[in-house]
Amino acid sequence: MSAASAPKAASTRAIQVFALLAAFGVVFAVNRIAVNQGDGIGRITAVGFLLLAGTLTSEVFEMVKLPHLSGYLVAGIVSGPYILHLLDHQTVAKVAPVNTLALSLIALAGGAELRFDTLRRVARSLAISTLLQSGIILIGMASLFLLLSRYVPFASKMPTHALLGVALLWGVMSVTRSPSACLGILSQTRAKGPLATFSLAFIMLSDIVVVVLLAAAMMVARPLITGEGEVSIADLGELGHELVGSVAVGTTLGLALILYLVLVGRQLLLVLIALGFGATEALRYISIDPLLTFMVMGFVVENLSNQGPKLVHEIEKLGSIVYVIFFAIAGADLDVPLLRQLWPVALTMCCARALLTFAAARLSARIAGDEQVIRRWGWSSLVSQAGLTIGLAVVVERAFPTFGASFRSLVIAAVAVNEMIGPVLFKLALDSTGESATTSAPIRPSLAPPPPIT
């Protein structure tokens, strides 16, 4: 075992705990002074605090073998508006734009981790898993929503036809996974092997599938919920525009990025920041999905050039900072009172979803003839949910304003549970299978080793 991965000394851990308590104490005092002066802490202060608190909390969590991502989330929850109130709602909203950069990096890195040979190798397994996971989870969770609807405040008095439409939308929400959680755990563990490769490929493919499912579900659910009109093909046309446009723009930007890497190759961090903020807003303006676009961009760079490892390396340098802030903000933005109110229904939904995920994974692995490690642990990365799920819930909220806000609140409550449990399960699986790296040499699961330096 290398020094990079050796356990830290007790004195180092004690210093980390002391530094964490000191950071919370200082910000608590500063925040009280700022509030007395009629203002909250500034944006830069909030970002710096979340970065420091998230990093230190993750180091403390490492002592009990919990993933760093859980530490980032807990740091945000504790410092957020509902516990210590070090960050109020206004401050959290101020730093939320960091999420735009984080999501673009997550998608770009995810695309760059996928190679043609990897996809060919697991194509049959991916196809079977995607079909069974999507079908079983959607039908099972929609049925469970119908059974529990009397305990869901906004759905308890809905007519049957409207309830069927809402249950269908809930089923689609349950199909979503978390690319950010997957990549966060892979970044920490430096895992490589069949489980890491399968998880990464499946979750990235699942993002595309769930976008299609949501558009189709909304097309069917709208007349059921409103009781007016018929199934419209307008949503299908919008879906086609979004998918084709995302692939076309992502391919174009990917080729442009290859040219930049080959001809210039410097200041790549600035280019990534510019793409993360500027390109994302431009894509939203022309109604093209940024997440899918950045995935295609990374995929093009990795498979049509030899610049993939360089791109991933630069993303990891920037992501090591951005991801901490991203998940800490997610924790700070968590509505704790809402979770307390809805936790019985949310917990029931999450447990059922986890059981269905486990059953579908075991079934699909057996049918596809996957190796033993996938049969046993292939489900472990599929429990987490995060930003994509909440983003899709916002789409539903805008489309159905009569119940959309309450629907989104239930989604957030369920995501909160899955967000805390899922990463722990995935890291446990990677550690148990021996895929977590025990040396300091980082080789990502879908990347070939870089060429030797001559």
Per DSSP, the residues of 2-59 read: -TTTSPPPHHHHHHHHHHHHHHHHHHHHHHHHHHHTT----HHHHHHHHHHHHHHHHH
Q: Quick one: tokens of 173?
A: 């929400």
pLDDT in tens, 230-289: 555 666 666 677 778 888 999 999 999 999 988 887 888 888 888 888 888 888 778 787
* Claim to verify: residue 222 and residue 252 sit in the same structural domain: yes
On whether residue 52 sits in a domain, the answer given is yes
Tokens standing for residue 397: 């909220």
Q: Are 142 and 86 found together in one domain? A: no
Indicate if the pLDDT at residue 186 is higher than 60: yes
Q: What's the distance, Cα to Cα, between the start and end of the chain in Å? A: 27
Q: Indicate if 58 and 190 belong to the same structural domain.
A: no
Does residue 440 fall inside a structural domain?
no
Length of the chain: 454
Residue type, 158: M
* Interacting residues of 105 by C-beta distance below 8 A, sequence separation 6+: 272, 276, 315, 318, 319, 322, 323
**Based on the domain organization, do 172 and 68 belong to the same domain?**
no
Average pLDDT over residues 145-165: 87
CATH number of the domain that 197 lies in? 1.20.1530.20
Q: Clarify whether residues 55 and 145 are in a common domain.
A: no
**Boundary (domain end) residue, out of 95, 114, 134:** 95
Same domain assignment for residues 329 and 248 = yes
Residues 127 and 271 in one domain: yes
pTM of the model: 0.71
Residue 37 in tokens: 């002066």
Residue 272 lies in a domain: yes
pLDDT at 168 over 90: yes
What is the span of the domain harbouring residue 123?
100-433
In a domain, 444, yes or no: no
Q: Do residue 306 and residue 396 come from a single domain?
A: yes
CA–CA distance, 362 with 451 (Å, rounded to integer)? 37
Q: Look at residue 63 in the predicted model and tell me its pLDDT.
A: 80
Residues 258, 221: one domain? yes
Query: Within a domain: residue 449?
Result: no
Query: What pLDDT is attached to residue 236?
Result: 64
| Separation of CA 70 from chain center | 13
pLDDT digits (tens, 9 = 90+) for 4-45: 444 567 778 788 888 888 888 888 777 777 655 445 566 777
325 shares a domain with 276 = yes
Distant-in-sequence, close-in-space partners of 228: CB < 8 Å, separation ≥ 6? none
Asked whether residue 166 is domain-assigned, the answer is yes
In a domain? residue 160: yes
In this prediction, residue 27 carries a pLDDT of: 81
Q: How many domains, in total, are found in the chain?
A: 2
- Residue 391 has phi, psi (to 5 degrees) of -60, -40
Which pLDDT tens digit goes with each residue over 199-236?
888 887 787 788 778 878 888 888 888 776 555 566 66
Within a 13 Å sphere around the CA of 277, how many CA atoms are in the beta-carbon half? 9
**Domain boundary, last residue among 77, 95, 113:** 95
- Whether 5 is in a domain gets the answer no
- Same domain for 108 and 76, yes or no, is no
**Contact of 169 with 221, CB cutoff 8 Å:** yes
Give the pLDDT confidence of 300-353 residue by residue, as tens digits: 998 888 888 888 888 877 777 877 888 788 778 777 776 777 778 888 999 999
Q: Are residues 241 and 118 in the same domain?
A: yes
Cα 184 to Cα 159: distance, rounded to the nearest angstrom: 42
Last residue of a domain, one of 61, 95, 129: 95
pLDDT band at 355 (very low <50, low <70, confident <90, very high): very high
* One-letter identity of residue 20: L
| Closest to 126 in 3D by CA, of 210, 185, 197 | 197
Q: Which of 392, 422, 417 is nearest to 339 (CA)?
A: 417
